[in-house]
Structure 1
Amino acid sequence: MDELKTLSQVKGYEVTSDRQLYSAQHDEILAGATTDIYFIRTMEILEHMNLAHTEVVAEIFARKPGMLAGVQEVFNILADKNVEIWSLKEGETFEPKETIIRIKGSYDEFGKFETVILGCLASSSAWATAARECKEACNGKQLLCFGARHVHPAVAPVMERAALVGGADNASCILGAKLFGKEPSGTVPHAAFLIAGDTVAVAKAYDESMPVSDPRIILIDTFKDEAEEAVRVAEFLGDKLYGIRLDTPSERGGVTPALVEEVKARLCKAGFPHVKIIVSGGLYPEKIRQLAQAGVDSFGVGSYISGAHPIDMTMDIKEVNGKPIAKRGRIPGIIDNPKLIKVK
């Protein structure tokens, strides 16, 4: 797809009626089809004034603190543009109003991509920040991201990769995990148990059909009391059982510290102290801290990470032709940040 540079090109850009998904394709994003129309209008006005090639320095800052993610996509978007870029490292924390990225070059090289760049940073940084909050609450225990089901599939891998940047140990989304160089992690959903009709029957089939290298982790809250099912599965699989997963729905009170303590105690009394306890379902940092103290070994977090509110990002022009400038309310000129590293 040709890069959109004029209003007439936008007018002639057609979306086919047989499009199966509404998400943007990579070539559409790189062509500028997901930018705000006013940036195309701006370019036409500046071209009319012979100012489109003006050299500027633009800086990006966030409105609140967080952890930076999405920068590699920004670099990729601008890879073939004649610009210089300074940036914080991905995974580095930032404070409000701190310059996180600086771009220098002719305005027509990157100006229309402001919408795209800010969107990449705003969403990914929010997801990474939420994952970091959860990881800190885990107190050294394992964190898995299970958030793909809560967002559009086009952005699910972006979200889960950002969660890994934020400190998650792994992710369930296949593409999200692989983009970060990991193999996806996950057990078995309630569907398998409901279809089979018995937890131990699924545990048996799991053990018989899954690779030996896969840890045997069995969901035990589908049919019966969680503590009872945990012991039943442990007695069947014995030393082969790595862990049990609790995902008790909110309709039954959810997973509580008391439930975790009971399940753990009954497993120990039955002779299975080695069995790990994994929990999922509506988790957030404070609840993670409580459950970690109760004895949970691993946490699967979805909606707290996927539902993180985007961190408001702003791009300001701070120099024009080498002269400091800024809109009212902002300080003219570039803002020094020794953490910035030249990347292009």
Structure 2
Amino acid sequence: MPVKPKFNIPGNLLSGDTTDIYFARTVEILAKENQNPETVMEVFTTRPGILCGLSEAVELLQAVLPAGEGEIWALEDGDQISAKEVVMRIKAPYLSFGLYETVYLGMLASGTGWATAARECVEAAGDIPVTSFGARHIHPLVAGRMDYAAMIGGCKGCSSIEGARLWGISPSGTIPHSLILVMGDTLKATLAFDKHMPPQVPRVALVDTFKDEVEESLRVAEAMGQRLDSVRLDTPFERGRVTADLVKEVRANLDMAGHNHVKIFVSGGLNPERIRYFAENNAPVDGYGTGSYISGARPIDFTADLHEIAGKAIAKRGRIPGLSQNPRLKKVR
């Protein structure tokens, strides 16, 4: 993972525009009452998962806590977490961070949900790399965060430019149906891609637009030779989707024609169950692209509770007062 991703926290988050109104009112009331005690806030999860959103939450808190004030202890993005585990502890005057509870909890909830879903796909794929194609299934303002979370979960690449920037890699992409449809021919579109794209961009031909996938794979492979990295199978539901038998047929025909170097990339409605189907049927897949299973993942809820005020242990009913023990927490501020 990147040494230190830079999320560039948007101004509307820093201003509190995305927070719950009762936190804004709480900060206003306490300020007018001249009450700003030092507090300890602990953040914990409600169910297991792959932690993500922590780096962004810390970046937010670093931006809002006054210079020389406040301490933060935290786990790291990518850590496997258990239910009720404290993932972050904040010690600071309440008014310096109280406005942002909604914000950092949301970062953690969405990020951890996405990362956990990605890990499920990656584990199903085994040694075969998985790429995140989910940006089109989510609001564009958070697409980069989603792709970052997918790679925290184990994906080897992502399609969005912003997600790749956060991870410090080049974005991954193939040839879309639109280019092929506009140009009127799969081979013509692939050759145009090869002509105009930098040599470091892999040549991955989409082969299900106009003709039989085997026929198109062979046409492109014959014309491109060693320049062709992969063919992508993305057969839609209306035509029965990509099957293990189709992958085997494409592989066999490419090999018989001497194109053993050409890899096969599969996409289209993939989830852990579908990925396991290909593995269990020994389909010679070289890479998977999955989208909405990751981007549409259920968030994993996080909760923030005060456990200490002005040095005194405290908690609401149902919680244990005082600091929770978690030796995995590391001081980051």
Please give the alpha-carbon distance, in whole angstroms, between the structure 2 residues aligned to 1:195 and 1:28.
40
Q: Secondary structure at the match of 2:88?
A: strand
In the other structure, the counterpart of 1:97 is 84
Q: How does 1:251-266 map to 2 (within 5 A)?
A: 251-266=238-253
The alignment status of 1:54 with 2:37, answered yes or no, reads yes
Q: Secondary structure at the match of 2:141?
A: coil
Q: What code does the residue aligned with 1:74 have? A: A
Q: What code does the residue aligned with 2:229 have? A: Y
Q: Is the 8 A contact 1:86 1:340 kept in 2?
A: yes
* Per-residue deviation, residues 205-263 of structure 1 (Å, max 9, x unmatched): 22322223322210000011111211222222223221100011111111111211111
The alignment status of 1:318 with 2:307, answered yes or no, reads yes
Q: How does 1:297-316 map to 2 (within 5 A)?
A: 297-316=286-305
Q: Is the 8 A contact 1:139 1:289 kept in 2?
A: no
In the other structure, the counterpart of 2:326 is 337
In the other structure, the counterpart of 1:43 is 27
In the other structure, the counterpart of 1:18 is none
Q: Secondary structure at the match of 2:229?
A: strand
Q: Secondary structure at the match of 1:188?
A: coil
Q: Secondary structure at the match of 1:161?
A: helix
**1:171 Cα shift?**
1.0
The alignment status of 1:30 with 2:14, answered yes or no, reads yes
* Per-residue deviation, residues 119-142 of structure 1 (Å, max 9, x unmatched): 111111111111121122221122
Listed as ranges, the gaps of 5+ residues in structure 2 are: 1-8
Please give the alpha-carbon distance, in whole angstroms, between the structure 1 residues aligned to 2:257 and 2:10.
54
Identity %, equivalent residues: 54
Q: What code does the residue aligned with 2:22 have? A: Y
In the other structure, the counterpart of 2:189 is 202
For 2:112, which of 122, 125, 133 is the aligned residue?
125
In the other structure, the counterpart of 2:5 is none
In the other structure, the counterpart of 2:46 is 63
**1:283 Cα shift?**
0.5
* Per-residue deviation, residues 9-58 of structure 1 (Å, max 9, x unmatched): xxxxxxxxxxxxxxxx811210111111101222233345443x122111
Q: What code does the residue aligned with 1:69 have? A: C
In the other structure, the counterpart of 2:73 is 86
In the other structure, the counterpart of 2:232 is 245
Q: Is the 8 A contact 2:75 2:328 kept in 1?
A: yes
Please give the alpha-carbon distance, in whole angstroms, between the structure 1 residues aligned to 2:42 and 2:131.
34
Q: What code does the residue aligned with 2:317 have? A: R
Please give the alpha-carbon distance, in whole angstroms, between the structure 2 residues aligned to 1:65 and 1:145.
22
Q: How does 1:12-31 map to 2 (within 5 A)?
A: 26-31=10-15
Q: How does 1:203-242 map to 2 (within 5 A)?
A: 203-242=190-229
**1:298 Cα shift?**
0.7
Please give the alpha-carbon distance, in whole angstroms, between the structure 1 residues aligned to 2:39 and 2:193.
60
For 1:148, which of 130, 135, 141 is the aligned residue?
135
Q: Secondary structure at the match of 1:156?
A: helix
In the other structure, the counterpart of 1:327 is 316
Please give the alpha-carbon distance, in whole angstroms, between the structure 2 residues aligned to 1:32 and 1:148.
26
Comparing 28-37 with 72-81, which one deviates more in the overlay? 72-81
Please give the alpha-carbon distance, in whole angstroms, between the structure 2 residues aligned to 1:207 and 1:335.
57
* RMSD of aligned Cα (Å): 1.5
In the other structure, the counterpart of 1:76 is 59
Please give the alpha-carbon distance, in whole angstroms, between the structure 1 residues aligned to 2:251 and 2:166.
36
Please give the alpha-carbon distance, in whole angstroms, between the structure 1 residues aligned to 2:12 and 2:119.
32
Please give the alpha-carbon distance, in whole angstroms, between the structure 2 residues aligned to 1:330 and 1:315.
11
Q: What code does the residue aligned with 1:254 have? A: R
Q: What code does the residue aligned with 1:128 have? A: A
Paired residues in the alignment total 319
Please give the alpha-carbon distance, in whole angstroms, between the structure 1 residues aligned to 2:242 and 2:294.
18
In the other structure, the counterpart of 1:169 is 156
Please give the alpha-carbon distance, in whole angstroms, between the structure 2 residues aligned to 1:109 and 1:239.
59
**1:174 Cα shift?**
0.7
